[in-house]
Amino acid sequence: MGRPGLIEDHLAELARRLPGPVVDELADGLNETYLAHRRRGLDLDRAARAAVDEFGDPATVAAAFIRSSPSRTTSRVLLLSGPVVGGTWAVAFVAGQAWRWPVAVGTRVGFGAAVLIAAVLLGVAAFGRQYRRASHSAAAACLVVLAVDASMLGYITAIGLLDSWPVRAAAALGTARSAFTLSRLPTVLAGR
């Protein structure tokens, strides 16, 4: 049985905002709602209107998906923990006189840019109103955060700085953040 144009329009609007599998599931639900109204005796147009009204407008439904998405919760945790981890590294850098470390200027600039990019991506993922953009940003941010943490941990291990307690504290926090990010990554990637 074909679906009325009103329901097709509603689904098309949802498809512009949400991923295909989610829209498939919503289409089934909206269709069942429509059929239930038909069984209650409403004509085609009234059943379609009732189903759409009952379902909620696409913006409301999409916003609820964004609020519930693992991308949103993961990015907010990373955004909130960022200053703590970053602050601990800053203390470690000062204590270890990081300006004396044998790191090329280009590497330092690249590292700073990566941190900045991660922050921007997390901001979009944590507060963005578009599901796809927020999900893609969260996935990219997770990968950048992992790369930043792995680079830092790899570098301080390689140059043997782990005997300093501020560095050990920063490394421990960085490791914890990496473990959290890795644990959330499959869900975040699946939500894109």
Smallest distance, other proteins to C-beta of residue 121, A: 20
Residue 31 near other proteins by CB under 8 A? yes
Q: Which is nearer to other proteins, 138 or 171 (CB)?
A: 138
Burial per residue of 51-88, b for 16 or more beta-carbon CB atoms within 10 angstroms, e otherwise: bbeebeebeebbeebbeebbbbbbbebbbebbeebbeb
Q: Which stretch binds other proteins (CB under 8 A): 26-34, 80-88, 118-126, 160-168?
A: 26-34
Smallest distance, other proteins to C-beta of residue 55, A: 4
Are 70 and 180 in contact by the 8 Å Cβ rule? The answer is no
Q: Look up residue 181 and give its amino acid.
A: T
Burial of 6 per CB tally in 10 Å (0-12, 13-18, 19+): middle
Residue 65 near other proteins by CB under 8 A? yes
Helix (H) or strand (E) holding 4: none
Residue 139 near other proteins by CB under 8 A? no
Residue 187 near other proteins by CB under 8 A? yes
Smallest distance, other proteins to C-beta of residue 118, A: 22
Smallest distance, other proteins to C-beta of residue 74, A: 10
Are 139 and 189 in contact by the 8 Å Cβ rule? The answer is yes
Interface contacts to other proteins, rule CB under 8 A: 21-22, 24-33, 36, 54-57, 60-61, 64-65, 67-70, 187
